[in-house]
């Protein structure tokens, strides 16, 4: 079979064997998988895994080896993926009501489900593992790192664009004495966070960031920029500028790709983060360079690998509670998502940046905090 020979040669370059004994080797259960991947690329690979056509003992290792050898770069982009890529470049896929699509397709899956996976910290973003021994301490360390990078002071008013389940707002209010206004496009997150932060000087709104017209001492955005869309990066930065006081700081926490025009995985866009676009540093700086001074760039992208593996562990341990509701195909989809992203991080194909901006430059210079 020509397709199988093609697959064997391609995977051999990444030290992956079909039917091999290593934990990163793959086992084929339906020979039609070869043609499916050849014609549909990444989407065919992911969908065939969801359908049970192939398996792998350690998917994270499989993907790490796949990305280190740049195997996806040797597979022709399928027509559906190519069309989606062109749409991202030409169309504004996050305009108006479409900005809310990622919420009801992803973040509104269920608060109990996400709580079980991400743990008590309720942070669905990369933890900071420097001197941290477990997931929760890594997440609280990340939140404290952000507070210190922004130099939060008691009585200040903070805007959080993409407030999640309220964990950062709660941490900042309780530990730094600030008031927080958080905006989200997720109805489920809004409902949970209002109850979670009851009694604190925190306000949550179901609101698109483009509708904010108020001044704040500082602005923070954690793992939301990936949903903004390339066509809206400059508009996003303009919103932050109009909302930020002259002496304020803006911290952007975002996943990133190493080069402009890198293609984020089409399967992830289709099944996990619809209409998403992961930026490069050039994308970010082109949108911000006439609006802000870049004070600090901190890359701790390797930490996402460990964070994702902890989420996957929690997901597996708590799955019996959710199996009846979500079903086996969802399980395989979610497992594929978490472990593919772990492989992306481990291979350093994706990055995680903290970028601190000021309006006019911090007098005397910004002191980097790690």
For 318-350, the pLDDT digits (tens) are 999 999 999 999 999 999 999 999 999 999 999
Query: Does position 79 have pLDDT exceeding 50, yes or no?
Result: no
Q: Is 188 found in the same domain as 61?
A: no
Same domain, 50 and 113: no
**Higher-scoring residue by pLDDT: 363, 90:** 363
Residues 251 and 125 in one domain: yes
The DSSP letter of residue 120 is T
295 and 151 in a single domain? The answer is: yes
Classify 227 as helix, strand or coil: helix
The pLDDT, as a whole number, for residue 102 is: 52
Shared-domain flag, residues 162 and 281: yes
Rounded distance between C-alpha atoms, residue 83 and residue 216, angstroms: 40
Is residue 292 assigned to a domain?
A: yes
CA of residue 335 relative to chain centroid, distance: 15
Calculate the alpha carbon distances from 134 to 171, 177, 307, 330 in Å: 18, 26, 9, 27
**Residues 50, 179 within the same domain:** no
pLDDT for 136: 97
What is the per-residue pLDDT across 351-368, written as a single tens digit (0 to 9) for each? 999 999 999 999 999 999
Residues 70 and 140 in one domain: no
Q: Is residue 208 part of a domain?
A: yes
341 is a catalytic site residue: yes
Note the pLDDT tens digit of each residue in 104-158: 456 667 899 999 999 999 999 999 999 999 999 999 999 999 999 999 999 999 9
Same domain, yes or no, for 279 and 130? yes
Co-location of 115 and 188 in the same domain: yes
At 13-52, the pLDDT tens digits run 999 999 999 999 999 999 999 999 988 889 999 999 999 9
Which residue, chain included where needed, has tokens 């910290």?
121
Provide the 10 A C-beta neighbour count for residue 144: 15
**135 within some domain:** yes
pLDDT value at residue 95: 63
* 241: pLDDT strictly greater than 60: yes
Q: Where does a domain end: 56, 76, 96?
A: 76
**Do 128 and 253 form a contact (C-beta atoms < 8 A)?**
no
Domain boundary, last residue among 21, 55, 76:
76
The reply to whether 63 falls in a domain is yes
The pLDDT score that the predictor gives to residue 86 is 47
Q: Return the pLDDT at 18.
A: 97
103: confidence class by pLDDT, cuts 50, 70, 90 = low
Greatest Cα pair distance in the chain: 69
Could you tell me if residue 278 is inside a domain?
yes
Task: With respect to residue 50, please indicate whether it lies within any of the assigned structural domains.
Answer: yes
Q: How many separate domains does the chain show? A: 2
pLDDT in tens, 252-307: 999 999 887 666 688 998 899 887 889 999 999 999 999 999 999 999 999 999 99
Claim to verify: residue 291 and residue 213 sit in the same structural domain: yes
- Looking at the structure, tell me whether residues 58 and 201 fall in a common domain: no
pLDDT at 263: 65
Pair (113, 254) in one structural domain: yes
The domain of 141 spans: 109-300+352-358
With a cut of 90, say whether residue 74 has pLDDT above it: no
Determine the Cα–Cα distance for residues 260 and 282; give it in Å rounded to an integer. Answer: 6
Q: Quick one: average pLDDT of 1-22?
A: 92
The pTM of the whole model exceeds 0.85:
yes
Three-state DSSP at 14 gives coil
């Amino acid at each position: 079979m020509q397709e199988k020979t093609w697959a064997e040669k391609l995977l051999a370059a990444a030290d992956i064997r079909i039917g091999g004994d290593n934990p990163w080797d793959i086992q084929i259960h339906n020979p039609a998988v070869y043609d499916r991947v050849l014609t549909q690329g990444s989407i065919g690979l992911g969908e065939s895994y969801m359908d049970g056509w192939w398996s792998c003992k350690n998917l994270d290792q499989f993907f790490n080896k796949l990305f280190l050898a740049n195997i996806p770069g040797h597979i022709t982009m399928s027509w559906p993926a190519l069309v989606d890529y062109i749409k991202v470049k030409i169309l504004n896929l996050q305009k108006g009501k479409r900005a809310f699509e990622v919420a009801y397709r992803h973040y509104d899956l269920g608060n109990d489900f996400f709580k079980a996976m991400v743990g008590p910290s309720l942070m669905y973003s990369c933890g900071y593992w420097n001197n941290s021994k477990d997931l929760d301490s890594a997440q609280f360390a990340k939140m404290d790192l952000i507070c210190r990078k922004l130099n939060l002071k008691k009585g200040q008013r903070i805007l959080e664009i993409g407030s999640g389940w309220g964990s950062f707002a709660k941490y900042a209010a309780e530990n730094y004495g600030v008031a927080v206004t958080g905006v989200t496009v997720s109805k489920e997150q809004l409902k949970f966070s209002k109850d979670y932060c009851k009694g604190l000087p925190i306000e949550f709104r179901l609101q698109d960031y483009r509708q904010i017209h108020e001044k704040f001492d500082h602005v923070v955005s954690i793992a939301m920029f990936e949903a903004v869309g390339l066509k809206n990066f400059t508009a996003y930065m303009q919103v932050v500028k109009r909302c930020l006081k002259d002496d304020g700081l803006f911290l952007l926490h975002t996943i990133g790709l190493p080069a402009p025009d890198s293609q984020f995985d089409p399967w992830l866009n289709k099944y996990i983060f619809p209409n998403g676009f992961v930026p490069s540093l050039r994308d970010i700086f082109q949108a911000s360079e006439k609006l802000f001074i870049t004070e600090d760039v901190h890359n701790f992208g390797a930490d996402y690998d460990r964070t994702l593996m902890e989420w996957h562990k929690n997901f597996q341990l708590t799955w019996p509670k959710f199996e009846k509701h979500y079903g086996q195909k969802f399980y395989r989809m979610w497992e594929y998502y978490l472990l593919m992203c772990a492989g992306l991080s481990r291979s350093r194909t994706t990055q995680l940046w903290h970028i601190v901006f000021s309006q006019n430059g911090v007098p005397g210079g910004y002191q980097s905090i790690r």
